[in-house]
Amino acid sequence: MTADFGNHPCFNAKIRHQFGRVHLPVAPRCNIQCKFCNRKFDCVNESRPGVSSGILSPYQALVYLEHVFEEKKNISVVGIAGPGDPFANPEETMETLRLVRAKYPDILLCLASNGLGIGPYIPELAALKVGHVTITVNAIDPEIASQVYAWVRYGKKVLRADAGVKILLEKQIEAIKELKKHGVTVKVNSIVIPGINDFHIVDVAKRMAELDVDIFNCLPYYQNEGSAFSAIPEPSAADIKKIREEAGKYVHQMTHCARCRADAVGCIGEKDNEFLMSKLQACESMPKHPDTKIIPLSVPRTERTYIAVASLEGALVNQHLGEAFRLLIFGEKNGGIELIDERLTPEPGGGDVRWEAIADLIKDCRALLVSGIGKRPETVLRDKGIQVLKVEGLIEEAAGAVFRGDRLNHIFKRERSKCGVGCSGGGMGCG
């Protein structure tokens, strides 16, 4: 089969300065934790995967796309690449693709995923004519993979690396086979991490060649402050060149990757467009749905049997309440915990009105787990009978301890804030 690289700048180096792409940041949650990753949604000074200046709903993304097409006349590809994983956010991802395809029937569509959750959606992706998919495969040996990842969230269960990577690798191989079966062009990214998997990348390339992968990208590891691998130096250009030469004996190589942001727009390597970044942030403040200005907040339940959690990706308690666009609701089941609901929070602004609305939103919850919270919202929530706990770590561990009545001293979060200043709790979100 001859891969259709066409006018896709990531798959076709010859046209990367002629045609551009836009990534729609509609997928904030992630279902794995890579040890090299420290996602910061609002960092404008970094250009790397996992970073975005905002998070859009599918409807907001469609409005933003109109601004992109007005400003940029050479956009050939619309993609979704996070800032989490598209299929840790399948509803948002698929609805965005449906909306874009309906309005722009001739545009190229693409996705970048770790492959864990994409499988059930491949038939519809093909029907929507998603022509290009990137799967990140950092190892094919479970022993090596377990050094790359901290945990894997499969279904509603968080698995430690040694157990989780076996499922991850299995699902990645299944996904690549199914994508090829449906005629989708497949690129595989492998993050080259010195001392962890750099010696293993050629083996990955050999296996990808057996699966008829169209193009292979040896992507140099990026040193992220705050990640588990922050002390590991980036690989040298000479090392990457040598690995690409060896891997290139088995599968065609991509050599022009710019490690794009989840909200990248324009040609590869092009400087960020400040006008479009301002439009993205403006769209983020719009209603999330076209026909509603106020998102319903109340849930008619009476017993406080649940726990609410502010989480970026659904596995860790790691979000400040002021930043949370939704809260995850967990219940007890068979001695463990189970995700039973996901509730959108009101838009930032409004002071006490916002915090009272959130209290009403989770009035069936005995506790709220957050990584941080302002003084005023904490007071409002506690006055409403909701225990507020500032903790860090796995949701499964923290929520389980609350349900069991265990001591939480070991997971209480030390007082610190993301921006280094105190939070006023004014209801305006975290800046």
CATH number at residue 400: 3.30.420.130
Calpha distance 393→372 (Å, rounded) = 13
Question: Are 146 and 56 found together in one domain?
Answer: yes
The answer to whether residue 425 sits within a structural domain is no
**Residues 384/359, Cβ–Cβ less than 8 Å:** yes
Tell me the helix, strand and coil percentages in the chain, rounded to 5: 35, 25, 45
- Global model pTM greater than 0.75: no
* C-alpha dist (Å) from residue 198 to 47, 186, 201, 217, 251: 23, 22, 6, 13, 17
The answer to whether residue 291 sits within a structural domain is no
Question: Are 135 and 227 found together in one domain?
Answer: yes
With a CB cutoff of 8 Å and minimum separation 6, the contacts of 45 are none
Question: Are 243 and 312 found together in one domain?
Answer: no
**Among residues 158, 428, 399, which one has the least CA distance to residue 320?**
428
The answer to whether residue 369 sits within a structural domain is yes
How far out from the chain centre does Cα 26 lie?
8
The answer to whether residue 106 sits within a structural domain is yes
Number of domains in the chain: 2
Question: Are 167 and 276 found together in one domain?
Answer: yes
The answer to whether residue 3 sits within a structural domain is no
| pLDDT tens per residue across all 431 residues of the chain | 344 556 666 665 565 556 778 889 998 888 888 888 865 544 443 445 566 777 889 999 999 889 888 887 778 789 898 888 999 999 999 999 999 999 999 888 999 999 999 999 999 999 999 989 999 999 999 999 999 998 898 887 888 888 999 999 999 999 999 999 999 999 999 999 999 999 999 999 999 999 999 999 998 887 777 777 878 888 888 998 999 999 999 998 886 565 667 777 766 556 666 767 777 877 877 777 775 433 332 233 336 789 999 998 888 899 999 999 899 999 888 777 888 888 888 888 778 888 999 999 999 998 999 999 998 999 999 888 898 999 888 888 888 888 887 766 656 655 444 444 444 454 444 44
Residue 175: CATH number of its domain: 3.20.20.70
Pair of tokens at residue 304: 């406080």
Question: Are 357 and 270 found together in one domain?
Answer: no
**Among residues 325, 346, 326, 339, which one has the least CA distance to residue 395?**
339
Strand partners, 43: none
Pair of tokens at residue 59: 């409807």
The answer to whether residue 5 sits within a structural domain is no
Among 254, 284, 314, identify where a domain stops. 284
With a CB cutoff of 8 Å and minimum separation 6, the contacts of 279 are 64, 67, 68, 71
The answer to whether residue 2 sits within a structural domain is no
Length of the chain: 431
Calpha distance 281→206 (Å, rounded) = 42
**Backbone phi and psi for residue 388, each to the nearest 5 degrees, phi listed first:** -105, 125
339 sits in which H/E element? strand 336-344
Question: Are 388 and 239 found together in one domain?
Answer: no
The answer to whether residue 300 sits within a structural domain is no
Give the structural domain span for 223: 13-284
Amino acid at position 29, single letter: R
Amino acid at position 37, single letter: C
Question: Are 272 and 320 found together in one domain?
Answer: no
